[in-house]
Amino acid sequence: MSSASSNVFLSDIDKERFGIQTARVVGVTIESLPSILEFCRKEQVKLLIARCSMSDLKIAQTMEKKGFLLMDTLVYYTLDLTKRKIPSDNGTAHFRPIRAGEEEEMVSVATESFRGYFGHYHADPRLDNNKCDEVYVDWARKACASRGSDENFLVAEIEGRIVAFGVFRINSPDEGELFLGGIHPDFQGQGIYLSFLCRAMEWCLSKNTRRIVISTQLNNIAVQKVLTRFGFEISRGYYTYHKWFD
């Protein structure tokens, strides 16, 4: 179910996880907000997850006046692969595609790395924290199950143990993305994310994309430290709001 005048839709996945009627929409504008709210009323939505451009403060303030609460700010970073050389990487981890039978080992890395993460789900005190943890683990599980044969799901191994994972995808003929990645907390701060970025850039180049994009939360300082050192540039961002109807 969705509305024609905006891209708001009912989110089955959120309903299943949190047990409440949930709608989602990206790109809210002053013009589309009334029809989004009307859609939520008609569909008896309890929670609306709504994103608007971070450069449109007018809609952000309008949403705030209507009881929308800010939950996170998602920022997108881009690197032009035709202009940058992939840096040399002397990391100790061994990177390779995940193998059949390793899903549960990868899932336990995803569970530990995203426990208590600071995305919009965790920021909402009305949502069960354990269920919020499951969001990212499920993404990893689904991405693993639907991975193609083009080596887009890598793990990092140290002394025979999987310590990190990273998922790459193609968004358009010109653009690739490091879509999801997590490092086990025991192995963070050792440059493994930096190595993953190198692998992601190599993968994108092998698919002939001209640029690579990565999104993260504005308060994810570790990721942005690495991205800015690589020469990634911020290209756009969204405020994520939650609106509860009760």
Name the site residues for ligand COA (rule: CB under 6 A). Answer: 113-114, 181-183, 188-194, 216, 220-223, 225-226
Find the shortest distance in angstroms from Cβ 198 to ligand COA. Answer: 11
Find the shortest distance in angstroms from Cβ 196 to ligand COA. Answer: 8
- Which residue, 30 or 221, has its beta carbon nearer to ligand COA? 221
d(CA 166, CA 231): 20
- Which residue, 39 or 114, has its beta carbon nearer to ligand COA? 114
Find the shortest distance in angstroms from Cβ 44 to ligand COA. Answer: 33
114 C-beta neighbours (distance < 10 Å), count: 21
- Which residue, 8 or 119, has its beta carbon nearer to ligand COA? 119
Q: Which ranges of 50-206 does DSSP label H, i.e. alpha helix? A: 57-65, 103-114, 120-123, 129-145, 192-206
- Which residue, 70 or 226, has its beta carbon nearer to ligand COA? 226
- Which residue, 45 or 156, has its beta carbon nearer to ligand COA? 156
d(CA 86, CA 231): 11
Find the shortest distance in angstroms from Cβ 201 to ligand COA. Answer: 14
181 and 152 Cβ atoms separated by less than 8 Å: no
- Which residue, 205 or 226, has its beta carbon nearer to ligand COA? 226
Find the shortest distance in angstroms from Cβ 168 to ligand COA. Answer: 13
Query: What distances in angstroms separate CA 70 from CA 100, 121, 174, 222, 238, one per listed residue?
Result: 40, 11, 32, 22, 11
Q: Are strands 211-217 and 175-183 parallel, antiparallel or unpaired?
A: parallel
38 C-beta neighbours (distance < 10 Å), count: 14
153 C-beta neighbours (distance < 10 Å), count: 22
Find the shortest distance in angstroms from Cβ 245 to ligand COA. Answer: 30
Alpha carbon distance, N-terminus to C-terminus of the chain: 21
157 and 94 Cβ atoms separated by less than 8 Å: yes
d(CA 235, CA 233): 6
Find the shortest distance in angstroms from Cβ 194 to ligand COA. Answer: 4
All residues at 6 or more sequence positions from 5 whose CB lies less than 8 Å from its CB, including other chains: 32, 35
- Which residue, 63 or 183, has its beta carbon nearer to ligand COA? 183
